[in-house]
Chain A
Amino acid sequence: MSTHHTLLEVEHLTMRFGGLTALSDLSLNVAAGQITSIIGPNGAGKTTFFNCLTGFYKPTEGAVRMHHPQHGALLLNEMPSYHVARKAGVVRTFQNIRLFPNMTVLENLIVAQHNALQTASRFSLAGLFGRAGYKAARQQALEKAEMWLTRLKLLDLADTAAGNLSYGTQRRIEIARALCVDPLLICLDEPAAGLNPRESAELNELLVYLSREHGKGVLLIEHDMNVVMRVSDHICVLNFGNKIAEGTPQQIQQDPNVIKAYLGEEETDEKVAA
Chain B
Amino acid sequence: MSAYVPVHQGPGFAARIKDALAVAMLSLMLGIPMIGLHTVDSGGALSIATRWPWLALFVGIMFGGRLAMQFALDHFKLNKARRAQKRPAVRATRPWLKWLGYAVLGFSLVLPIAFSGNRYVVDTATTVLIYVMLGWGLNVVVGLAGLLDLGYVAFYAVGAYTYGLLSTHFGWGFWQTLPVAGALAATFGIILGWPTLRLRGDYLAIVTLGFGEIIRLILVNWTDFSGGPNGIGQIPRPTFFGLPFSPDTDTPTFATFFHIEYAAEHRVIFLYYVILALALLTNLFVSRLRKLPVGIAWEAVREDEVACKALGMNVTNIKLSAFAIGAMLGGFAGVFFAARQGFISPESFVFSESATILAIVVLGGMGSQLGVVVAAILLVLLPELGRDFSEYRMLLFGAAMILIMVWRPGGLIASREPTVKLNKGAQA
> Hey, which chain A residues are within 8 Å of B419, CB to CB?
107, 110
A125 CB to nearest B CB, Å: 9
Name the residue on A nearest B310 (C-beta).
Answer: A92
Cβ-closest chain A residue relative to B313: A114
Which of A85, A121, A123, A158 makes the CB contact (< 8 A) with B312?
A85
Known contacts A100-B307, A124-B295; A106 and B420 CB within 8 A of each other: yes
Residues of A within 8 A of B423 (CB): 159
Give the distance in Å from the alpha carbon of A86 to the alpha carbon of B303 in the complex: 20
Interface residue? B308 (CB, 8 A): yes
Query: B311 touching A112 by the CB < 8 A rule?
Result: yes
> Contact at B296–A114, with CB atoms within 8 Å?
yes
What's the Cα separation between A85 and B90 when bound, in Å?
A: 29
> A115 on the interface (CB 8 Å rule)?
yes
Q: At the interface, yes or no: A146 with Cβ under 8 Å from chain B?
A: yes
List of A residues within 8 angstroms of B307 by Cβ:
94, 98-100
Interface pair A100/B303, CB less than 8 Å apart: yes
Q: For the complex, is B315 an interface residue (Cβ under 8 Å from A)?
A: yes
Is A161 a contact partner of B89 (Cβ separation < 8 A)? yes
Within the complex, what minimum Cβ distance (angstroms) separates A252 from chain B? 29
- B297→A160 contact, CB < 8 A: no
- Candidates B89, B309, B311; contact of A111 at CB < 8 Å: B311
Question: Could you tell me the distance between the alpha carbons of A83 and B314 in the complex, rounded to whole angstroms?
Answer: 8
Known: A101-B303, A114-B311, A146-B422. A164 touches B296 (CB 8 A): no
A118 and B293 form a contact (CB under 8 A): yes
CA distance A92 to B308 in the complex (A): 11
Shortest Cβ gap from B20 to chain A (Å) = 40
Q: Which residue of B lies closest to A98 (CB)?
A: B307
Among B90, B309, B311, B416, max chain A CB count under 10 A is at: B311
Report if B109 contacts A (CB, 8 A). no
Nearest Cβ on chain B to A79's Cβ, whole angstroms: 11
CB closest residue in chain B, given A149: B422
- A127 with B311: in contact, given A103-B303, A159-B423 (CB under 8 Å)? no
A128 touching B288 by the CB < 8 A rule? yes
Q: Which residues of A contact B87 (CB under 8 A)?
A: 164
Kindly report which residue of chain B lies nearest to residue A87, judged by CB atoms. B312
**Complex CA–CA separation, A268 to B37 (angstroms):** 83
List A residues 76-129 near B (Cβ within 8 Å). Answer: 80-86, 91-94, 98-104, 106-107, 110-112, 114-115, 117-118, 121, 123-124, 127-128
Q: Which residues of A contact B61 (CB under 8 A)?
A: none
Contacts of A55 in B (CB 8 A): 309
Question: Quick one: which of B310, B313, B314, B416 contacts A102, CB cutoff 8 A?
Answer: B416
Residue-by-residue, is B287-300 near A (CB-CB < 8 Å gives 1, otherwise 0)?
A: 01100111111011
**Mask for A57-85, Cβ within 8 A of B = 1, else 0?**
00000000000000000000000111111
Tally of contact residues, A, Cβ under 8 A: 49
The reply to whether the CB of B200 lies closer than 8 angstroms to some CB of chain A is no
Q: Is there an interface contact between B90 and A159, defined as CB atoms closer than 8 Å?
A: yes
Nearest Cβ distance between residue A188 and chain B, in whole angstroms?
12
**Contact check: which of A82, A94, A121, A123 meets B313 at CB < 8 Å?**
A82
Query: Is A82 a contact of B309 with CB atoms below 8 Å?
Result: yes
Structural contact, A114 and B303, CB atoms closer than 8 A: no
- A121 contact set on B, CB distance < 8 A: 292-293
Q: Which residues of chain A come closer than 8 Å to B296, judged between CB atoms?
A: 103, 107, 110-111, 114
Asked whether A91 lies within 8 Å of B310 as measured between CB atoms, the reply is: yes
- The answer to whether the Cβ of B418 comes within 8 Å of any Cβ in the partner chain is yes
Q: A82-B313, A82-B314, A101-B303 are in contact. Are A106 and B289 (CB under 8 A)?
A: no
Known: A100-B300, A102-B416, A118-B293. A181 touches B89 (CB 8 A): no
Say how far B367's CB is from chain A's closest CB, in angstroms.
Answer: 9
Shortest CB–CB separation between residue A117 and chain B, in angstroms?
Answer: 4
* Least distance between A184 CB and chain B CB atoms (Å): 12
B90 touches A160 (CB 8 A): yes
**Chain A to chain B contacts (Cβ below 8 Å), 27 pairs:** A80-B309, A82-B309, A82-B313, A85-B309, A94-B307, A98-B307, A99-B303, A100-B299, A100-B300, A100-B307, A102-B303, A103-B299, A103-B303, A103-B418, A107-B418, A110-B420, A111-B300, A114-B296, A117-B293, A124-B293, A127-B292, A128-B289, A149-B422, A157-B89, A158-B421, A178-B311, A181-B312
Which 5 pairs from chain A and chain B are nearest by CB? A85-B312, A86-B312, A160-B89, A100-B303, A98-B307
Contact surface of B with A, Cβ cutoff 8 Å: 87, 89-90, 285, 288-289, 292-297, 299-300, 303-304, 306-315, 416, 418-423
Besides A56-B310, A85-B312, A128-B285, 5 new A-B residue pairs in contact (Cβ under 8 A), listed by A number: A93-B310, A98-B310, A107-B419, A128-B288, A160-B89
